[in-house]
Chains A and B, each alone.
Chain A
Amino acid sequence: MSFPLLTATAALPALGAVATAAVPAARRTAAKWLALFVSLATLALGIVVLVRFDPGGDRYQLTESHAWIADFGVRYELGVDGIAVALIALTALLIPFIILAGWHDADPLETGNKRWRPTQGFFALILAVEAMVIISFEATDVFLFYIFFEAMLIPMYFLIGGFGDSAHEHGDEAAATQRSYAAVKFLLYNLVGGLIMLAAVIGLYVVAGNFSLAEIAQARANGSLHMATNTERWLFLGFFFAFAVKAPLWPLHTWLPNAMGEATAPVAVLITAVVDKVGTFAMLRFCLQLFPEASKWATPVILVLALISIIYGALLAVGQRDIKRLVAYASISHFGFIVLGIFAMTSQGQSGATLYMVNHGISTAALMLVAGFLISRRGSRLIADYGGVQKVAPVLAGTFLIGSLATLSLPGLAPFVSEFLVLVGTFTRYPAIGIIATFGIVLAALYTLVLYQRTMTGPVKPEVAAMPDLRPRELLVVAPLIVLLIFLGVYPKPVTDIVNPAVKQTMSDVHKKDPKPSVEAAK
């Protein structure tokens, strides 16, 4: 038996979380370094997965399979396709930056209490989330996936509710109430989604007799497993609802602005760049593969919801007064694009959507982390409290601008490629929807540039006059992300090469072919 690489990739951060949590209260710095080291080691393993993965090979690679709960046909089955590999790499890549950005976010205010260990807890929870997200990407057993899909809510709940902006820590009761409201809202929304999915998981077992994704998909493909049309539709809806809450899709989105607004910036990145990706990933992997006919049946409604998300999220972003909530609504708009790409059912749309997940992760991380650095300096999330930062902190403003430009999908930066692919992929099948979605790019320019204008330009406000520029640690967080944004913008081939074969498979799962151009001009 070969080395269980996928298990190791998920187990390493899990063990790291336990170890970090066990560091004594006084050795706070050691806990930080330990967490950073573990996340870097996980990144190394993620890169090994990336290298070992052969884009031209089998659909699922590096597979592991062990009996687990034999009575119910639950198996411990892992395997990755191109889409999963890309997202695992993204997760492993972002966590070290999140840890580094949150280096001082969980420092205890009173050091007198010898048994209080928020720092250890903070970093342990981040690593725990990483482990669960990675195993969700790897699981090819529906039940195994479900367990970790739900379990990651627990550490996320504590991360949102337990650690707010340092600005609000100083005994502000109202802020604490807001935060616990946000955490509970996050938990309830996702639990309801998860509960409905559980019903569908059980229903799937009743119909199919096991939980193995590959087996069920194959049985469905060769006709040995027949599902009644209505059964398939209900099961699809059960799965889709959970993923739509997580993604989040309009009108199930309202937990995200609260959660991202109240959480610290690194945790907000963790939510939107990492955890939410499980939702859109699962749409591609589970909804389309297990229920191809029902997916096609639901496509019109889902496309309209995605379209509403794009426009609605962007319009609400324009109307926000709070920097972090603005980014949250921008993310809702972007998730609309991802869902649009997935359900347009074209190669360009789905490759674009997968690429979009990766690029959105990086671009939101860049923008949100810089916003977090900005907020920690001034102690306010309100846009109106800023002005003229460009003059006092040019590097901070410059990186913020690049993050904003990535958010509005400027060509040359990574998100452009994916957004354009999604638009093209949608347009070839549904021209009207494609055109309306294109309005999203104008609105994106509006909300990012208004944000930049109000915070960074104009006369210097007295409160920001003494603001220090980015520190080396902060620059270390932002610079690699920016380099990556530019690199993937001009040369996205490494990602598309990995993703394309998986997309081709998914397209054949749903029996869809790309529309042909009316004139054969391409050679």
Chain B
Amino acid sequence: MNPVNYLYLSALLFTIGATGVLIRRNAIVVFMCIELMLNACNLAFVTFSRMHGNLDGQVIAFFTMVVAAAEVVVGLAIIVSLFRSRHSASVDDASLMKL
């Protein structure tokens, strides 16, 4: 199969993720959409690795996974503590980052 099709899939997944980040309010869903974007990138990396015949893309995919795992740890902790203090997981309720 033509590897370019994987890139189309990757782009599609990234767009779905990005749209989710922008339009959904639930922090858990936003979070999952971010994961979707990261994995779309991973897919693109792996595809490029295959297309160019070297391992660089796969190495970077591993890096991304490590970063994503670390992010999950921190991100979920933030969401949980936010939910505890506000009884809501809506990102729009947490708008304290302004003057």
Are A and B in direct contact (Cβ within 8 Å)? no
